[in-house]
Amino acid sequence: MEKLSSSNPVPGVCELRQRIGIIKENIHTAALAGGFDPAAVRLMAVTKTVPAGTINAAIEAGIDLIGENREQSLSGKYDEIRRDGVEIHFIGHLQRNKAARVVKMVDCVQSLDSIALAKELDKQAAAIGKQLQVLVEVNIGQDPNKSGVHPDAAREFVDALRELPSLSVRGLMTILPLECTTLQMEKYFSQIHALYVDIRAQNRDNVCMDCLSMGMSGDYKLAVKHGATMVRLGTVLFR
As assigned by CATH, the class of the 13-238 domain is alpha beta
Alpha-carbon gap, residue 175 to 97, rounded angstroms: 23
Can you give the residue ranges of every domain in the chain? Answer: 13-238
Measured CA to CA, the distance from residue 103 to residue 84 in angstroms comes to 18
Q: What is the mean pLDDT of the chain?
A: 94
Q: What is the pLDDT of residue 8?
A: 59
d(CA 1, CA 22): 29
Query: What number is the average pLDDT over the span 72-90?
Result: 97
Predicted pLDDT at 203: 78
Task: List the single range of 99-103, 177-181, 200-204 with lowest mean pLDDT.
Answer: 200-204
- pLDDT of 131 higher than 60: yes
d(CA 74, CA 67): 9
* Cβ 209 vs Cβ 196: under 8 Å: yes
The pTM score is 0.94
Query: Who wins on pLDDT, 7 or 66?
Result: 66
